[in-house]
Structure 1
Amino acid sequence: MTENYEVVVVGGGAAGLSAALVLGRSRRRTLVIDAGEPRNAPSAHMQGYLSRDGMSPAEFLAAGRAEIARYGVELVQDRVVDARKDTGFTLVLAGGRAVRARRLVIATGLRDELPDVPGLAERFGRDVLHCPYCHGWEMRDLPTGVLATSPLSVHQALMVTQWSKDVRLFLHRVDEAELTDQDLRRLAAAGVAVVPGEVAELVVTDDRLTGVRLAGGTSGQGAVHDRAVLYAAPRAVPNNELLVRLGADMHDTPFGSYPVIDERGLTSVPGLWAAGNASGFSEQVVNAVSRGYRAGAAINAELLMTDLDAAVGV
């Protein structure tokens, strides 16, 4: 039997819970389907979110789940395995449940594919980081490295100098010839040392990062650069399968393929909305909450006007 909801939200992170909170408070029958794989799970704390600075991601999500429950929003731990669009949306869950919704919010976020450097994945979210706005204050003034995964890593290295004046850019698999004259001048002006050569592994002592080892020599044991922090930009892989399956127009960016949306989060498919990192790469938690709120409010208004127009025969 298929269960009917006014709105289904796929994704129970910051954006999805925010949309659900607004919809629940608007007295809309709403279901949140959450696969339980938040992008920021490796981080011990969130930073830069006014009134929530330093809160753990797990605590933040637990508070959000408790809030939506107060307004009658249902939440199920499951995964959508099929979706189709007709007069509304029909979703099939991995557990076998089928649900229908008049409106659908995709807030499935993205996943990070980390550079293939031995020791890096184990330290990610601790002393291997990707965002200085998220972690720079906590790692201020420490010997810092930046792993170049593309020429865009120059920008990351320059930004990191706001938090540490001891920064080295490890070119890894980026050829120095790929850097522009402007890149080199800026790096020199910022005091960033450029280190050519491939990174072989991270050196960890007593469960903390202490160095970055380069490949080299007949034994493969290259020089070790003492570093306490390493920034590495993961490859962003948007969880956009449902958006593509439902026919949303997409556009390619240097950080993956995202739906074309209006300022409220509405995609090219009527009734289909996107929020959070499912809608764009640079949505931090605070931005994702805002996106979810905006989508929830817009959906409630759209449903209300649709029903009023139907009642008067428009």
Structure 2
Amino acid sequence: MDERYDVVVIGGGAAGLSGALALSRARRSVLVIDAGRPRNAPAGHVHNYLGRENTPPADLLAIGREEVAGYGGEVVAGEVTGAAQVDGGFRVDLADGATVHARRLLVTTGLTDELPDVPGVRELWGSDVLHCPYCHGWEVRDRPIGILGGPFGVHAATMWRQWSADVTLFRHTGPELTDDEREQLSARGVWVVEGRVAALETRDGRLSGVRMESGEFVAREAVVVAPRFTANSAVLRSLGLEPVEQEMFGTVVGSYIPADPTGATAVPGVWVAGNVANLQAQVVVSAAAGLNAGARLNADLIAEDTDLAVAAARTKAA
């Protein structure tokens, strides 16, 4: 693998494969290095991806890898430990000691969902514990849904009420509700349970309900939580790019790597796409961002190729 590529893509999810596909079709030499830890692995299916609705996440990635390979791109399994600017390009270091070189980098390492520290949440994450109604709302429509309260408890409760008439807000660590918020929840038929949640309980491997610290048990078939979305930024930090915090309604919800609309970062030659740069991007949005970054990367390489060709022609003519 001690080779030089036009572009090394770090991360083989929807954003990385989409960017690699565009670049491979542009006849660029492309290497995708994938650590094999997709964020949506616990989910059963991908949704809101036109033409791929209900596709299992692993199947979507397998299809993407085949498409990239079909145009000459390479996809390998590996863990990138860092990168550095060298000789007008970049050196990428892997955990197994291998190194590769690239003229440009596309980093699509995604994010980590930091889940609430409540027993049962992690075990049921992606199946009965959810966070996005557009990803999973249809699948739990008309079922008893619980909202694990925090800063966004009221917001989540009123939103998920669109998919079910049986929604309960467990205030848990959330702020005291205002009179207006209680009026809104009451008007929408949302039941509020005071006190802290002790654990999520299961029966036959599926969620059966919420156990409060008081001992009270409330039967639920799905629970909504609000993770902290933390950008997987170690590789980008090694290049001098630091993540920044993102706020929503005055509360920090996670971190991301800043970039312009094309995905270009503050380090020339380094692009980002997908959840590492956009915490709210669903799979189809991440794929679109990968395509956008790939096209702009190719345009940047074309400009460099042209400059090199002009310089070579002038040298020859001199």
What TM-score do you get using the length of structure 1 for normalisation?
0.93
Matched residue of 1:156: which SS?
Answer: helix
In structure 1, the residue matched to 2:162 is: 162
The reply on whether 1:129 has 2:130 as its aligned counterpart is yes
Q: Give the CA deviation at 1:153.
A: 2.6
Aligned positions of 1:212-251 closer than 5 A: 212-216=210-214, 222-248=215-241, 250-251=243-244
User: Could you tell me whether the CA contact under 8 Å between 1:249 and 1:267 is conserved in 2?
Assistant: no
Matched residue of 1:157: which SS?
Answer: helix
User: Could you tell me whether the CA contact under 8 Å between 1:255 and 1:281 is conserved in 2?
Assistant: no
In structure 2, the residue matched to 1:311 is: 309
Cα distance in 1 between the residues matched to 2:154 and 2:229: 18
Q: Give the CA deviation at 1:155.
A: 1.3
User: Could you tell me whether the CA contact under 8 Å between 1:10 and 1:107 is conserved in 2?
Assistant: yes
Residue 290 (structure 1) aligned to one of 267, 285, 288: 288
In structure 2, the residue matched to 1:10 is: 10
In structure 1, the residue matched to 2:249 is: none
Cα distance in 2 between the residues matched to 1:175 and 1:298: 45
Deviates more, 1:109-118 or 1:38-47: 109-118
Aligned positions of 1:90-105 closer than 5 A: 90-105=91-106
In structure 1, the residue matched to 2:44 is: 44
Cα distance in 1 between the residues matched to 2:137 and 2:230: 24
Over 3 Å counting, the alpha-carbon distance change for 1:182 and 1:243 in structure 2 is farther
User: Could you tell me whether the CA contact under 8 Å between 2:153 and 2:174 is conserved in 1?
Assistant: no
Identical amino acids, percent of aligned pairs: 52
Cα distance in 2 between the residues matched to 1:188 and 1:240: 42
Aligned positions of 1:187-198 closer than 5 A: 187-198=185-196
Cα distance in 2 between the residues matched to 1:215 and 1:175: 18
In structure 2, the residue matched to 1:138 is: 139
Deviates more, 1:65-74 or 1:182-191: 182-191
Deviates more, 1:72-81 or 1:16-25: 72-81
Cα distance in 1 between the residues matched to 2:11 and 2:179: 44
Q: Give the CA deviation at 1:240.
A: 1.0
In structure 2, the residue matched to 1:62 is: 62
Cα distance in 2 between the residues matched to 1:7 and 1:18: 13
Aligned-pair Cα RMSD in Å: 1.5
Gaps of at least 5 residues in structure 1 are 217-221
Matched residue of 2:162: which SS?
Answer: coil
User: Could you tell me whether the CA contact under 8 Å between 1:24 and 1:73 is conserved in 2?
Assistant: yes
User: Could you tell me whether the CA contact under 8 Å between 1:209 and 1:228 is conserved in 2?
Assistant: yes
Cα distance in 2 between the residues matched to 1:47 and 1:185: 33
Q: What number of residue pairs does the alignment pair up?
A: 306
Q: Give the CA deviation at 1:187.
A: 2.1
Over 3 Å counting, the alpha-carbon distance change for 1:118 and 1:267 in structure 2 is same
Cα distance in 2 between the residues matched to 1:50 and 1:120: 30
Runs of 4+ in 1 over 6 A off after TM superposition: none
In structure 2, the residue matched to 1:219 is: none
User: Could you tell me whether the CA contact under 8 Å between 1:170 and 1:196 is conserved in 2?
Assistant: yes
Q: Give the CA deviation at 1:75.
A: 1.1
Q: Give the CA deviation at 1:209.
A: 1.4
Matched residue of 2:102: which SS?
Answer: strand
What TM-score do you get using the length of structure 2 for normalisation?
0.92
The one-letter code of the counterpart of 2:82 is: D
